[in-house]
Chains A and B, each alone.
Chain A
Amino acid sequence: MLADVTMKPVTGARITLEGNMSHAGMVPIFSDAKEVAPGRYQANLDFAMAGDWVILSHITLATGQKIEDKLNLKGVRPN
């Protein structure tokens, strides 16, 4: 969910998710998010390996402004 400081949904943004492991040299994974509802963006990531991942969100707003965000995702396990 992407919202501004007044909690109003931010629409029309382009979001690319980049997943990296904590060890250098592992293949990163990428996915483009789709806006499924105003301000709600959804993407699928196919984790290539178990372990700890760091998900980087590369966000470009409709105004052209760029934002980067980071999420630590620990303990990914296989299905």
Chain B
Amino acid sequence: MPVIGAFLRWRHARTLLQVPLLVLSVVMVLHGLFGPELAPKNLATTLTWLHFRGLLVLVILAAGNFFCLACPFMLVRNAARKIAKPWLSWPRALRNKWLSIALLVAVLFVYELFDLWASPWWTAWLIIGYFLAVLIVDSIFKHAVFCKFVCPIGQFNFVASTLSPLEVKVRDQRVCTGCHTKECIRGERENAPDLVVVQRGCELALFQPRKAGNMDCTFCLDCVHACPHDNVGIESRLPASELMVDPLRSGVGYFSHRKDLAALTLVFTLGALLNAFGMVSPAYALENWLGNLLNIKQEAPVLGIIFVLFLVVEPLLLLGVATWVTRAWTGISHGWMPLMVRYSYALVPLGFAMWLAHYGFHFLTGLYSFVPVTQSALAGMGWPILGEPRWSWTGLSLRAVQPIELGLLILGLAGSLFLVHRFSEEDCQAHPMRAFVPWASVCVLLWLGSMWLMFQPMEMRATLIGG
């Protein structure tokens, strides 16, 4: 790729992308802690919940996991590692996605419980907490443990980027076959007794010749810079192609053997509906009804019940019924869990479409809102250089955005149905429709749920039951 390719091959490209985001993070934290308490007038809430979320999903859709590439948390972590090297290996029992799934659910829960979207102060502390978590974890444990096993945003990005059109991969496998130094994973060291690393290899244990897809890839480009043969690059590919196959993936294993990865995709997909549900009128009606039914005045337990319904009961029910019907109707010998794991990955396009529709909505309808907030922030510091804040500048109208949301959801359904079709043809060659119908029904049901959500009246409330 002209210009961009040369820039990304430059070993300091990542730092150059990370520095502005670090500066922006500091500005957001300061404005969140000391600026106006009203979310629409604060850079912390505006940039986090409108622009960061929206751009994240749009960039992943259009390109790839470039937000992990430009992650400001890693800049701070790398600086800290120059002072003190980590010394422990991450515990074997935690070398999976279960901890990060729990953290992702926790973030979604806390977001609803404390109305983070309405609180510049809490949003600032979320950002600070993230920096501290990265520093603590990656100062103690070697390699990119935070990225691979902890970071909730990273796990979200990994799943979403299975649908990206770009991938970091080897250009010519024959070159790798002849390579004996394997710098892409070992890194490049000085020719000296103390073997100082001059260029890291992949810290997420993705050995390039056997890497397949974007799962666990942070686009850090360490492998690109380390490869002495210039044989690793960002290449184009068919979106979702990595979900159609199940090779042994370096640093990941087989998708079909990874119950934790399948669970992550389910949280990703159903979490999209849950997160959108939290902003519509029926959510408040449900919470009040549950609170009255169970005689509970506090929000946390009621919210907990809704989370369990969406993230545990719903997938068990939908996938359980589909699995039972598939086994009964096709006679295939796959066990329950392997079938559920396999078809979980087919739901990723639908889930991503819902995140795109939701975050894209907030991003597009609030596209220009950072302008008056910035004008106001500068004026508040005694520098009214950008003039009077134009508070009426928000973004596109609902009428303009809704067709985009609708189109994304339809594409998401198409993507999931296509994956289900591929899987069912492989699983039951004699009668593929018998495997297709139950899982296509799951996709259609979830899609109908997404469509219903899209047309529900929004209702932003910063307080729920219990005051």
- Residues of A at the B interface (CB closer than 8 Å) are 18, 20-28, 30, 49-52, 54, 56, 74-75, 78
Q: Return chain B residues, CB-CB under 8 Å to A20.
A: 38, 40-41
- Residues of B at the A interface (CB closer than 8 Å) are 38-42, 45-46, 49-50, 115, 117-118, 279, 281, 362, 365-366, 369, 391-392, 394-395, 457-463
Q: Is the CB of B118 within 8 A of A22?
A: yes
Q: Is the CB of A28 within 8 A of B461?
A: no
Q: Return chain B residues, CB-CB under 8 Å to A25.
A: 40, 46, 49-50, 362, 365-366, 369, 394-395
Q: Is the CB of B391 within 8 A of A24?
A: no
Q: What are 26 A-B contacts defined by CB distance under 8 Å?
A: A18-B391, A21-B40, A22-B39, A22-B115, A22-B462, A23-B49, A24-B39, A24-B40, A24-B46, A24-B49, A25-B46, A25-B49, A25-B362, A25-B369, A25-B395, A26-B365, A26-B366, A28-B391, A28-B392, A30-B391, A30-B392, A49-B458, A49-B460, A50-B459, A56-B38, A74-B463
Q: How far is the CA of A22 from the CA of B459 in the complex (A)?
A: 10
Q: Is the CB of A24 within 8 A of B457?
A: no
Q: How far is the CA of A25 from the CA of B51 in the complex (A)?
A: 10
Q: Is the CB of A24 within 8 A of B463?
A: no
Q: How far is the CA of A24 from the CA of B118 in the complex (A)?
A: 7
Q: How far is the CA of A79 from the CA of B293 in the complex (A)?
A: 27
Q: Is the CB of A24 within 8 A of B459?
A: no
Q: Closest 10 A-B residue pairs measured CB to CB?
A: A25-B366, A22-B118, A51-B460, A22-B462, A50-B459, A51-B459, A24-B46, A23-B460, A24-B40, A25-B50
Q: How far is the CA of A23 from the CA of B41 in the complex (A)?
A: 10
Q: Is the CB of A24 within 8 A of B458?
A: no
Q: Shortest CB–CB separation between residue B166 and chain A, in angstroms?
A: 29
Besides A22-B38, A28-B394, 10 more A-B contacts (Cβ < 8 Å) are A20-B38, A20-B41, A21-B460, A23-B118, A25-B40, A25-B50, A28-B391, A49-B458, A50-B457, A52-B461
Q: How far is the CA of A78 from the CA of B281 in the complex (A)?
A: 11
Q: How far is the CA of A75 from the CA of B265 in the complex (A)?
A: 35
Q: Is the CB of A50 within 8 A of B394?
A: no
Q: Return chain A residues, CB-CB under 8 Å to B459.
A: 49-51
Q: How far is the CA of A25 from the CA of B461 in the complex (A)?
A: 14
Q: Return chain A residues, CB-CB under 8 Å to B366.
A: 24-26
Q: Shortest CB–CB separation between residue B48 and chain A, in angstroms?
A: 9
Q: Is the CB of A24 within 8 A of B461?
A: no
Question: Known: A49-B460, A51-B459, A54-B38. Is A24-B392 also a contact (CB below 8 A)?
Answer: no
Q: Return chain B residues, CB-CB under 8 Å to A78.
A: 457
Q: Is the CB of A23 within 8 A of B117?
A: yes
Q: How far is the CA of A24 from the CA of B367 in the complex (A)?
A: 11
